């Protein structure tokens, strides 16, 4: 609902996917509040309905569940970097402290004996590891149990305490024939800490792309005061203020060029490598780089109102969202820890009863507890989505949510609007054919007068032609617009219509040659008869045929939808390499065409400008808005492309397929790891220390696999 309020919280104390699930349940238990928690990002996106409890109640609910929460600052990315750096430093200190005390115990084991170090000294070495370095696991386990659940901390605390407690009891009772396992408890904690440290370092790299975008905007802006140019903090710039952008500097806020000429490198926002020329009247965007001359600009968007800030919000929202494929992992994570505890208990009871060696059975149970870590399962999907959406943003592909990203990989049919999507959207008037006793200038004057105020590309063509001929437009007394049909209005007290030609009212053979050239035709008529025929020609976008061929080679059926005449549509489709088109469609007809394509169960996408094609975009399973500027970047389409280039649609689909290839690999690794590891531990074929090492590295391997997406480049393709 539009009246709902959204907030973002930074969550502390989550150590696995079960923690994230518990925080999410606590949030959603607050009346009028819904939330979604990202374990990978350590954030929660909160929606407060009208009349709901305040955000303070949500924070209290999270704290009662055993975790910390605070509102994300406006510079959330910078805050997140600082928090991660602090956490990594703390983890590193704990790891090295633990490693210092654990090293002699592990060295003793590797040399080949358990008794090279006196048991009393082993106890002295293992105890600080267990209760100082391992204190975080006890705290996490206590909070989880107090909150009515269990998480990874419960498994680690329970397993290592059993190993340490058994060893202590054996030492204190003087049972010299029994083994002690101080090295196992200490090594497990050390290895888990190492794994969490490496995981934190790897996770920090998953957000490199979005953090690089966040760092684009400079901290200051150059303004003129008392005849001097001075730097002021960015917070002092308000809409309407005049600022300057010297050569080699980044644009501080969104603005409009007042004077000067230069070229701007917008690759960080659009993925387009070639700089764009800028002059008076052109738009500039925060974070882009001025390559040449000095520009004088007026601020049009500041703070959270800039294009860059909007892109960051969109990407952060997508990264925090949950893909449908993650639901299975969430369901497994919700019951994973309790099930593992039951398996460990059964391993101890059954193993001890059958063999009579209760000490060995207990160690097998410890191995089960240690090997079973839900972290890899919880990280499999979100880390790939974070890297994929961040890489997309770097290349001008802005993805609204993870569900759209997942759907895009399965697109079977892509419907494409013609004007402004397949073509440049800037048609020019090529022919004026009088049909009555009227001059070209008179006919164009009336037609352009009817088109005053219209933003349709054909209206722009008529108005540009009138301006080029220096024709004076006449006052428009009344105007009615009929979408897909044309205009009815009064100019100088006379009623006129301007719209699609009716062949039966025109000379035979007049229209066909013009349609065959791919031209769009309009007829100016009075109440008596047609007065003049206008022909406009739009240019196919450069690279459109190559993009269509690329989509078709990937097994995607491309269909052009247009309101233009079938003959004109056929000419454009032939030029673009499109085999199927539907012409003469009104906006509502396009949405019905999309619905018809979906009937056999196909995943249907629509690519358009996001405005005139709104009904069709809404009807599609996945919608692509092509364009430039803030309207495109902040539009409501599922995937917004910063460049009006069909190749970007192919890139977005390729990115979706690459991302979900990584997700499938990650889920396979995570499930396979536990399916293989738990039985090995149950039957005593897995040493607890080896189990600890495997568990520690499992999450690191999943995150590292996701990080390989950073090498993805636009232009390639990957089949389903």
Distances, alpha carbon 237 to alpha carbons 288, 302, 629, in Å: 17, 7, 21
Q: How far is Cα 39 from Cα 84, in angstroms, rounded to an integer?
A: 13
Q: How far is Cα 629 from Cα 205, in angstroms, rounded to an integer?
A: 29
Report whether 620 contacts 408 (CB < 8 A): no
Total residues belonging to the chain: 720
Angle at 337 between CA 331 and CA 338, to 5 degrees: 95
Distances, alpha carbon 387 to alpha carbons 336, 383, 390, 666, in Å: 26, 6, 5, 13
Q: In what order do the strands lie in the sheet with 604-608?
A: 397-399, 639-641, 622-626, 604-608, 413-417, 557-561, 580-582
Q: How far is Cα 402 from Cα 385, in angstroms, rounded to an integer?
A: 7
Question: Which of 153, 417, 621, 638 is an active site residue?
Answer: 417
Residue 279: its H or E element: none
Active site residue 417: yes
The count of C-alpha atoms lying within 13 angstroms of the C-alpha of 579, restricted to the half-sphere facing its C-beta, is: 8
Beta bridge partners of 494: 491
Residue 627: its H or E element: none
Q: In what order do the strands lie in the sheet with 283-284?
A: 228-233, 220-225, 242-245, 295-301, 254-259, 283-284
Q: How far is Cα 29 from Cα 11, in angstroms, rounded to an integer?
A: 17
Q: Beta strands of 309-434 (E only): which ranges?
A: 397-399, 413-417, 428-434
Q: List phi, psi (to 5°) of 157.
A: -60, -45
Contacts of residue 502, Cβ cutoff 8 Å, sequence gap at least 6? 523
Placement of tokens 């410890």 in the chain: 366
Q: For 368-387, what is the HEC assignment?
A: HHHHCCCHHHHHHHHHHHHH
Report whether 52 contacts 30 (CB < 8 A): yes
What residues are annotated to the active site?
417
């Amino acid at each position: 609902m539009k009246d709902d309020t959204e907030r973002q919280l930074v969550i502390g104390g989550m150590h696995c996917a079960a923690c994230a699930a518990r925080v999410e349940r606590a949030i959603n238990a607050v009346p009028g509040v819904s939330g979604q928690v990202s374990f990978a990002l350590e954030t929660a996106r909160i929606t407060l309905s009208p009349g709901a409890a305040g955000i303070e109640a949500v924070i209290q609910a999270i704290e009662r569940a055993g975790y910390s929460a605070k509102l994300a600052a406006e510079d959330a990315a910078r805050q997140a970097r600082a928090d991660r750096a602090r956490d990594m430093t703390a983890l590193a200190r704990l790891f090295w402290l633990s490693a210092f005390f654990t090293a002699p115990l592990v060295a003793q084991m590797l040399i080949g004996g358990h008794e090279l170090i006196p048991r009393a000294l082993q106890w002295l070495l293992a105890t600080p590891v267990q209760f100082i370095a391992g204190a975080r696991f006890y705290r996490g386990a206590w909070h989880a149990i107090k909150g009515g659940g269990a998480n990874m901390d419960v498994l680690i605390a329970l397993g290592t305490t059993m190993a340490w407690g058994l060893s202590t009891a054996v030492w204190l009772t003087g049972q010299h024939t029994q083994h002690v396992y101080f090295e196992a408890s200490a090594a497990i904690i050390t290895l888990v800490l190492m794994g969490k440290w490496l995981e934190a370092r790897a996770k920090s790299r998953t957000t490199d792309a979005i953090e690089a975008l966040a760092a684009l905007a400079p901290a200051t802006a150059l303004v003129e005061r008392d005849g001097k140019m001075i730097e002021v903090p960015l917070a002092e710039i308000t809409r309407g203020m005049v600022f300057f952008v010297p050569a080699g500097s980044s644009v501080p806020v969104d603005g409009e060029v007042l004077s000067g000429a230069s070229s701007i490198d917008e690759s960080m926002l659009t993925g387009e490598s070639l700089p764009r020329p800028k002059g008076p009247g052109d738009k500039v965007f925060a974070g882009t780089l001025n390559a040449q001359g000095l520009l004088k600009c007026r601020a049009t968007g500041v703070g959270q109102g800039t294009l860059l800030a909007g892109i960051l919000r969109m990407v952060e929202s997508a990264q925090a969202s949950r893909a449908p494929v993650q639901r299975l992992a969430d369901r497994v994570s919700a019951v994973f820890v309790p099930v593992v505890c039951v398996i460990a208990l059964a391993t101890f009871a059954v193993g001890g009863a059958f063999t009579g060696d209760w000490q060995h059975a207990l160690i097998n149970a410890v191995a089960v507890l240690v090997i079973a870590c839900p972290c890899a399962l919880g990280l499999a999907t979100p880390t790939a989505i974070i890297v994929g959406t961040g890489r997309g943003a770097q290349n001008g592909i802005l993805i609204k949510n993870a569900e759209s990203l997942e759907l895009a990989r399965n697109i079977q049919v892509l419907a494409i609007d013609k004007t402004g999507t397949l073509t440049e959207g800037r048609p020019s008037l090529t022919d004026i054919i009088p049909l009555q006793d009227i001059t070209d200038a008179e006919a164009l004057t009336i037609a352009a007068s009817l088109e005053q105020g219209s933003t349709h590309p054909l209206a722009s063509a008529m108005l540009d032609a009138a301006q080029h001929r220096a024709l004076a437009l006449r006052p428009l007394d009344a105007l009615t617009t009929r979408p897909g049909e044309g205009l009815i209005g009064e100019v100088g007290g006379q009623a006129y219509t301007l719209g699609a030609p009716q062949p039966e009212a025109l000379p035979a053979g007049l229209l066909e040659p013009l349609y065959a050239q791919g031209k769009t035709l309009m007829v100016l008529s009075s109440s008596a008869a047609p007065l003049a025929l206008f022909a406009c020609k739009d240019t196919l976008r450069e690279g459109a045929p190559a993009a269509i061929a690329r989509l078709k080679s990937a097994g995607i059926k491309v269909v052009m939808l247009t309101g233009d005449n079938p003959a004109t549509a056929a000419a454009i489709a032939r030029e673009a390499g499109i085999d199927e088109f539907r012409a003469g469609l009104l906006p509502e007809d396009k949405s019905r065409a999309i619905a018809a394509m979906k009937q056999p169960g196909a995943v249907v996408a629509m690519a358009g400008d996001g405005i005139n094609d709104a009904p069709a975009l809404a009807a599609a399973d996945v919608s692509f808005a092509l364009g430039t500027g803030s309207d495109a970047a902040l539009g409501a389409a599922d995937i917004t492309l910063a460049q009006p280039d069909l190749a970007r649609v192919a890139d977005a689909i390729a990115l979706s397929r690459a991302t979900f290839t990584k997700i499938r690999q990650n889920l396979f690794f995570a499930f396979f790891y536990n399916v293989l590891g738990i039985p090995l531990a149950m039957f005593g074929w897995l040493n607890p220390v080896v189990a600890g090492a495997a568990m520690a590295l499992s999450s690191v391997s999943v995150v590292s696999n996701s990080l390989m997406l950073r090498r993805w480049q636009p232009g390639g393709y990957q089949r389903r």
